[in-house]
Chain A
Amino acid sequence: MSNETIDLKTRLVTDFYARESVMNGEASSAFHQKKRAALAEFDKLGFPTTRNEEWKYSNVKDLTSVLYNFNADSSITSADLEDLKIPSQEANILYFINGHYNAALSVFVSASSQIIIDSLQEAYKKDPVLINTYFNELVKDENDAFTALNTAFAQDGVFIHIPDNQTVEHPVILRFISDARVQNVGSQPRNIIAVGRNAHVKLAEAYRTLGNERSFTNTVTEIFVSEDAGVEYYKVQNESENAYHIGTTKVKMLDRSQFYSGTVTLNGRFTRNNLNIILDGERCEAHMYGLYFPDGVQHVDNHTVADHRKPNSESNELYKGILRDRSKGVFNGKIFVRPDAQKTNAFQSCKNIVLSTDATMNTKPQLEIFADDVKCSHGTTTGQIDEEALFYMRSRGISQSEAMALLMFAFCADVISQIRIDSVREYLEGVIAEKLASK
């Protein structure tokens, strides 16, 4: 790098206008105007500091102190992917390398009458009006610099549409791979998932890294769940020690729909997951499960929102964490019950095991209830491994390390068993067992 220092924010803003200047007519489209507004918002907000309440325990200074190549080419081959030991399953599998859709590696098994899958770019070319009805509709008011940044640069990612009354048998697995073998790379995938009435689908986003240079992933997924629809959505993060990940998933649910999520963070230098669910219908059911297992100096932050806007719906949340070494964990769970949302049931629980005196966990449940006939509960626990249980196991001949592994595996099992895509669950069980055995 030269002596001339240019910060990440300035570089991004400059890049945006440079790209815009070569866009010709497209720059005046409604789609681009959304991006333009988002860039202005990002420029105004700047990257958050720890003075921002939403980022109090998660400092992004380290992440924003270097530059990333957001247009890095990758010579990745299927042989390179072998190293990542990704399980195979009969599924629709889409690969994104450094944020760009890779058609050659991707496979589709479901019929196009059941599910429409396109890269966002492709989908926009086919039907700009349709894409524009969804794009940014859920996250436009997030007031979050990273979300605005993603909107401004949204180019690749996926558009998935499940027509009314279709049940997609095979899962859709989105694999985002950062190829950081030769340089610092950045990617900003943008996904739109629109699930029609009484349609059902299982999805997973999986994040991996190749190489040891830095990677910065800033991802946004907007999920529209129509009446009577059912969506299972899993996010699996097993990235490198130099991987920085900021992700926002925003979901809007309509009457009688079900949304079921699992967020599992196994490795990565810095991870921030925002999962915001709007229950904008009656008799909806939202389930949120999460597991994080940081070690070394890893940092994992999960912010969730269950926003109850209509009566008679239910949200249920369980997040669990095991923290080792000098790792840090953050959990912030908001539950809003709006005045109209009578008869809401909302439950939240966050349980942590802190295995080292140098590891820290910050938990903050935040309930704002404006209706009077509701059932809400929340609880957080942070503790050590149960010594009595450990001794009990050892007195039966089980070594201390094996006993610890069994107890921790059992601790994780509550969450892992909720993952209903078999190959994803089995993969996670394997990685967790490996990680437990590593110390």
Chain B
Amino acid sequence: MLSINELRASIEGKEILKGINLEIKPGEVHAIMGPNGSGKSTLASVLAGREEYEVTGGTVVFDGKEILDMAPEDRAAEGIFLAFQYPVEIPGVTTINFLKTAVNEIRKYKGESPLDAAQFLKMVREKAKLVSMNDSLLKRALNEGFSGGEKKRNEIFQMAVLEPKLAILDETDSGLDIDALRIVAEGVNSLRSPDRSAIVVTHYQRLLDYIVPDYVHVLYKGRIVKSGTKELAFELEEKGYDWIKAEVEAIG
């Protein structure tokens, strides 16, 4: 489904990703872990198409299509979704209106006719229930004045509505208490299916108790330096990242 090959990217002349290789098959959940500044969020941003980053090498093929030259909105329409680490507040645009525009823009991209108001509302209500999202939040301006937990829940809610093939969760656990974390994780899990994949970017193992990954990769200094199964996450939780850094320096 997703095939990342020797991906390099920099920002303001500084190279952050230094040759990432990653293969994700349909239905798989991959966790990306690593110390601060290792390039985790950069990888998430580059996959979603954030334009501040300059891709300097490599390829990313999603569902048979090279996506690096695609606009962010086209990637979204192809089925890539980024749950933001810091969801943006947009005054004046209600969550419901925002999502309706998104859904219909994606349908237009696929050559489908727009959903009418009734169909859309019915679908949205079902999805809101799925992630325990309060209906009243839908009518408010997008993320404006939302608590940290509400913002993250709104990300998962949007994901549920847009039904992406590949969800990228960028530190979705940061700033969440344990109850909010559980709700968010349940939302993600309810969307798991054999044809949907996810990349879970996280600093801590905590989230992975709830969203159990098939694979865990450690990103350090812009490269994936270690890959394993969920046991690797436990090991990192126990021993920290120093032993990985030491291993890399020894080889490097």
Which residues on A are within 8 Å of B, measured CB to CB? Answer: 386, 388-389, 391-400, 402-403, 406-407, 409-411, 413-414
Contacts and interface: CB of A to CB of B under 8 A. Distances in A.
Contact of A402 (B49, B90, B101, B141): B101
B76 interface: yes
B84 A392 contact: yes
Nearest to B78: A397
B211 interface: no
Contacts of B91: 410
B162 interface: yes
Given A395-B73, A396-B99, A403-B73, 11 more contacts: A391-B51, A392-B88, A394-B49, A396-B98, A397-B77, A397-B105, A397-B106, A397-B162, A399-B73, A406-B101, A410-B92
B51 A410 contact: no
Interface in B86-107: 87-88, 90-93, 97-99, 101-103, 105-106
Contacts of B71: 394, 399-400
Contacts of A388: 88
B85 to A, nearest CB: 12
Contact of B50 (A389, A391, A396, A399): A391
B92 A396 contact: no
Contact of B101 (A398, A413, A414): A398
B42 interface: no
A410 B95 CA distance: 12
Given A391-B72, A397-B109, A398-B101, A407 B77 contact: no
B90 A392 contact: yes
Interface residues of B, number: 31
Contacts of B72: 391, 394-395
24 contacts: A388-B88, A392-B84, A392-B88, A394-B49, A394-B71, A394-B73, A395-B72, A395-B75, A395-B81, A395-B84, A396-B99, A396-B102, A396-B158, A397-B73, A397-B77, A398-B98, A399-B71, A399-B73, A402-B101, A406-B93, A406-B97, A410-B92, A410-B93, A413-B92
Contacts of A413: 92
Nearest 4 Cβ contacts at the A-B interface: A410-B92, A397-B76, A394-B72, A396-B102
Contacts of A394: 49, 71-73, 76
Q: Which one of A386, A388, A396, A411 has the highest number of Cβ atoms from chain B below 10 Å of its Cβ?
A: A396
B48 interface: yes
Contacts of A397: 73, 76-77, 102-103, 105-106, 109, 162
Given A389-B88, A402-B105, A406-B101, A396 B93 contact: no
A34 to B, nearest CB: 47
A121 B90 CA distance: 51
Contact of A406 (B75, B76, B98, B109): B98
Given A394-B71, A402-B101, A410 B90 contact: yes
Given A395-B48, A400-B71, A389 B101 contact: no
B82 interface: yes
